[in-house]
Amino acid sequence: MVEQQKEKKPGTFGQLYHLVRSFLNDFYRESKRGTVEHKKGILIFVSFIFLCAIVIIYAALKLSETPAFCGVCHNMKVYVDSWKASTHRKVACIECHYKPGFSNHLKGKWKDGQLSLAYFITGKGPTKPHAEIDDASCLQSGCHKRQDLKTPVVFKNVVFNHPQHIEQMRREKQLRCTTCHSQIVQGAHMIVTDVECFICHFYKTKGQKEYITGCGSCHFEARGDIQVSPNFVFNHKTYIARGIKCEQCHTTVVSGDGHIPEFACLQCHNKREILTAKYTPEFLHKNHVTDHKVECFTCHSAIKHQIVGLHYKGQAADACSDCHPAGAHMEKINMYLGKGARLVDEQPNRMAVINMDCDVCHGKHLDRKGLRASCKECHGNITDGMIERWQKLVKDSQQDLMKEINEIRGSAGQGNVNPSTKKVLDDATFNYNFLTKGNGVHNIVYSMRIVNATKNALEELRAKMKGATTFKATPFKLSCTQMCHGEIMDKKVPFGSVSFVHEIHAEGEESCLKCHSAYAEHGKTTLKECSSCHHGEGMGKVSCKDCHRAEESMYRGSGVKGIQEIKDPMFGKVSCEQCHKSVKQGKKGDVAAIRNNCAACHKKEQANLVQDWSVQNKNISSKYGPVLTAFQKEIAVIETKEGRHSVPLRARYDEINQELKFVQQGNWAHNPRYGEAIVAKMDRDVQALDEMIKAKKAGKEIFLPAPQK
């Protein structure tokens, strides 16, 4: 009975339950007691752990935002490398790739976190990362402010205005910063891709005949002299002033049509409903360009815009290749390029030197009747009868050559001809045929050199055949009227505000160089010995300001941009003749004579100012002349390094040079107050140019001078 009354022992699980329960109770009692006893220490420890966790999480977040972390993915390395070499290398990735604002930052982290997690788990990431940079990221504080973007910038010698492109609809499309500043192009990060510019500016829609903008919309006028070759300086200014359009000379500067290949959409889309649907161009551009920053060249084929080599240097000839096989007209091309003849050095036509194609003269339709009109269109009526004179000159010269060749052949006999004699005859015959096939009109100077050299070779051979031991070659000589200006005597040409007549001034061919420079500096006119006739009683209808425009402008106090008109106090009251009395009498007017004239009306102290003003004019030349020479050398070094004309530097340099010439030619004495204003502006411009050159050498961006009114 007693054994029955004993309690039953718990089983294995019961015992285990009691042990765990007992342990937890004891652990709770001891923990509670320990917590009460060590409450302060526990709080400190937990706080430390919490702070460590916060620091670690913060550091991890910051680490994940560094370019080094971004470059962990194999397909991101090229982007990070291009960023390191870019102008944005000091700007963190998230500064651009996250929109400004805390909420946008969190959204960016959440999205990047998902991509990173997927990459580390699967090892796969997007093959072509496509980042969409919002305009707000570019225009946020500390970066590119809208106010700063209002200043025009120069990109590859093109003047670019940001507000006109991002604040206005262009071709009914809203552009954004990254429309032009692409993500990566040829290893450069966020650089301007000119292909985007060309696709927009040179893309022709259906029925559109002309491009949407003219050359002047982008290109700055090339005002300075361009040293094309050691003996040839070219300046656009006179042609621009005459109204010659850029495309009349630059005929092959655009290639490609920007069409969209059929497979373009398949690069991104594979759904049938998208590929078969019809969308308007406006919708496609808004969805791709404006909303999602898809580069234009992703869909459009490239359009190239550049000054290319002549078509016979590798490029296809637009007009010629349509009808003629490759290699056609090679003799004429070689004549134009000034190569291929014997006995003479190469001498290209100057039009070839400045890269003018056949179409410039011949036109797209090769209209022979329009050839002479094309000369007149660019060079004016100064070229009347020029082509006909060239044709006659070449023809007569060829006839003379053939006559001499036949005479020497007859004298040499029909038997074995001396090798040296045979070589001269072969060279002469080759040159004769070269002139015929190449048409000497394509390079009249080269043609006449060929004729001169060939005649000298034949004359020397003839002299040797007669037993002469010495021979004096006939030097090559250009004749202005024979070559180009045959009808100049019958024409009036503008010079200042005077219609100049050559007939009553020129005295034969030699007199040209009295007023004009030699062929190496063709086109420059200098004033020489005009005063012997036009000063004194024989001045006739010619007034002072007709020839002395610079002096008259200085006296008037106008002509320099950026300076308000400051008339000399005597302007309109005292005429030129009242001060320059000796000039009217046919005598040389020196400073002493002018000072004596001043003394007749002014006090002696005031009259002596003339001498001081004369010295001041010389001092200005001696001060700024070397400065401009030094600037020119520095600009030349920069342009040589970059391989292109530096528009901002040249614009500022030309501005200072024109101001100096204005003072030199106008003469300080004619308006000292205006002279002081010009010199003050020159000092500012010199300082500005010096800062621009320093900035350029430091690799910084430079801008065009502010437009002067």
The domains of the chain are located at 59-129, 148-305, 613-697
294: Cβ–Cβ under 8 A, 6 or more apart, which residues?
Answer: 288
Q: For residue 105, give both structure tokens.
A: 């930052």
Q: For residue 457, give both structure tokens.
A: 């070779």
Q: pLDDT class for 122, splitting at 50, 70, 90?
A: confident
Q: Average pLDDT in the 149-155 region? A: 75
Q: Average pLDDT in the 285-307 region? A: 82
Q: Average pLDDT in the 436-463 region? A: 91
Highest mean pLDDT among 254-258, 394-398, 498-502: 394-398
Among the residue ranges 196-200, 537-541, 582-586, 651-655, the one predicted with the least confidence is: 537-541
Given a cut of 90, whether residue 687 has pLDDT beyond it is yes
- What percentage of the chain has pLDDT greater than the value 90? 9
pTM of the model: 0.60
pLDDT at 706: 62
The amino acid occupying position 387 is I
Rounded-to-integer distance, Cα 583 and Cα 542, Å: 14
Given a cut of 70, whether residue 106 has pLDDT beyond it is yes
The amino acid occupying position 459 is E
Given a cut of 50, whether residue 1 has pLDDT beyond it is no
Q: For residue 551, give both structure tokens.
A: 């002096």
Task: State how beta strands 188-189 and 498-501 pair.
Answer: unpaired
Given a cut of 90, whether residue 341 has pLDDT beyond it is yes
The secondary structure of 532-564 as a DSSP string is HHHSGGGGTT--HHHH-HHHHHHHHT--STTS-
Of all helices (H) and strands (E), which one includes residue 42?
A: helix 39-63
Q: Average pLDDT in the 460-481 region? A: 82
Among the residue ranges 254-258, 491-495, 695-699, the one predicted with the least confidence is: 491-495
The amino acid occupying position 272 is R
pLDDT at 449: 92
241: Cβ–Cβ under 8 A, 6 or more apart, which residues?
Answer: none
Given a cut of 80, whether residue 151 has pLDDT beyond it is no
Given a cut of 50, whether residue 580 has pLDDT beyond it is yes
Cβ 217 vs Cβ 200: under 8 Å: no
Cβ 187 vs Cβ 143: under 8 Å: no
Of all helices (H) and strands (E), which one includes residue 227?
A: strand 226-229
Q: Average pLDDT in the 700-708 region? A: 69
Task: Label residue 698 exposed, middle or buried (CB < 10 Å: 0-12, 13-18, 19+).
Answer: exposed
Given a cut of 70, whether residue 586 has pLDDT beyond it is no
pLDDT at 528: 64
Given a cut of 90, whether residue 143 has pLDDT beyond it is no
Mean pLDDT of the chain: 78
What's the CA angle centered on 397, arms 394 and 403, to 5 degrees?
140
pLDDT at 429: 93
Q: Identify the CA nearest to 476 among candidates 340, 390, 347.
A: 347
Q: For residue 242, give both structure tokens.
A: 């005459």
Question: Which is higher by pLDDT, 248 or 390?
Answer: 390
pLDDT at 317: 44
Q: What are phi and psi of 504, to 5 degrees?
A: -90, 0
Cβ 656 vs Cβ 682: under 8 Å: yes
CA dihedral 320, 324, 328, 332 (to 10 degrees): -40
Cβ 668 vs Cβ 616: under 8 Å: yes
pLDDT at 232: 72
Q: Identify the CA nearest to 549 among candidates 527, 569, 529, 580.
A: 527
Q: Average pLDDT in the 98-116 region? A: 78
59-129 CATH choice from 1.20.1250.20, 2.60.40.1930, 1.10.3820.10, 3.90.1150.150: 1.10.3820.10
Given a cut of 90, whether residue 283 has pLDDT beyond it is no
Given a cut of 50, whether residue 320 has pLDDT beyond it is yes
Given a cut of 80, whether residue 46 has pLDDT beyond it is yes
Given a cut of 70, whether residue 659 has pLDDT beyond it is yes
Given a cut of 90, whether residue 452 has pLDDT beyond it is yes
pLDDT at 601: 73
pLDDT at 506: 73
232: Cβ–Cβ under 8 A, 6 or more apart, which residues?
Answer: 350, 353, 520
The label of the residue with tokens 């007939």 reads: 503
485: Cβ–Cβ under 8 A, 6 or more apart, which residues?
Answer: 382
Q: For residue 403, give both structure tokens.
A: 């006559």
Over the stretch 546-563, which tens digit does the pLDDT of each residue have?
778 888 888 898 988 888
**CA–CA distances in Å: residue 68 to residues 80, 112, 128, 166, 681:** 8, 15, 19, 33, 50
Q: Average pLDDT in the 444-448 region? A: 91
Given a cut of 60, whether residue 128 has pLDDT beyond it is no
Given a cut of 90, whether residue 433 has pLDDT beyond it is yes
DSSP three-state, residue 189 = strand
20 CB neighbour count, 10 Å cutoff: 10
Rounded-to-integer distance, Cα 470 and Cα 462, Å: 12
Cβ 418 vs Cβ 313: under 8 Å: no
Question: Which is higher by pLDDT, 343 or 5?
Answer: 343
Q: Identify the CA nearest to 130 among candidates 262, 267, 266, 284.
A: 267
Over the stretch 393-406, which tens digit does the pLDDT of each residue have?
899 999 999 999 88
Instruction: Render the burial of 304-342: b for 16+ CB within 10 Å, e for the rest.
Output: ebeebebbbeeeebebbeeeeeeeebebbbbbbbbebbb
Q: pLDDT class for 432, splitting at 50, 70, 90?
A: very high
The secondary structure of 458-526 as a DSSP string is HHHHHHHHTT-S---PPPP---HHHHT-TTGGG-EEEETTEEEESTTT--SGGGGGGTB--GGGTT-B-
Q: For residue 474, give both structure tokens.
A: 């006939």
Among the residue ranges 51-65, 458-472, 583-597, 624-638, the one predicted with the least confidence is: 583-597
CA dihedral 280, 283, 288, 291 (to 10 degrees): 170
pLDDT at 315: 44
Q: Phi-psi category of 239—alpha, beta or left, where left has phi over 0 and alpha has psi -120 to 50?
A: alpha
- What percentage of the chain has pLDDT greater than the value 70? 81
Q: What are phi and psi of 207, to 5 degrees?
A: 85, -5
Rounded-to-integer distance, Cα 345 and Cα 324, Å: 29
Q: What is the 3-state secondary structure (H, E, C) of 650-667?
A: HHHHHHHHHHHHHHHHHC
- Alpha carbons within 13 A on the beta-carbon side of 140: 14
pLDDT at 603: 67
Q: Average pLDDT in the 197-225 region? A: 75
pLDDT at 590: 66
Cβ 491 vs Cβ 502: under 8 Å: yes
Given a cut of 60, whether residue 382 has pLDDT beyond it is yes
Rounded-to-integer distance, Cα 344 and Cα 457, Å: 11
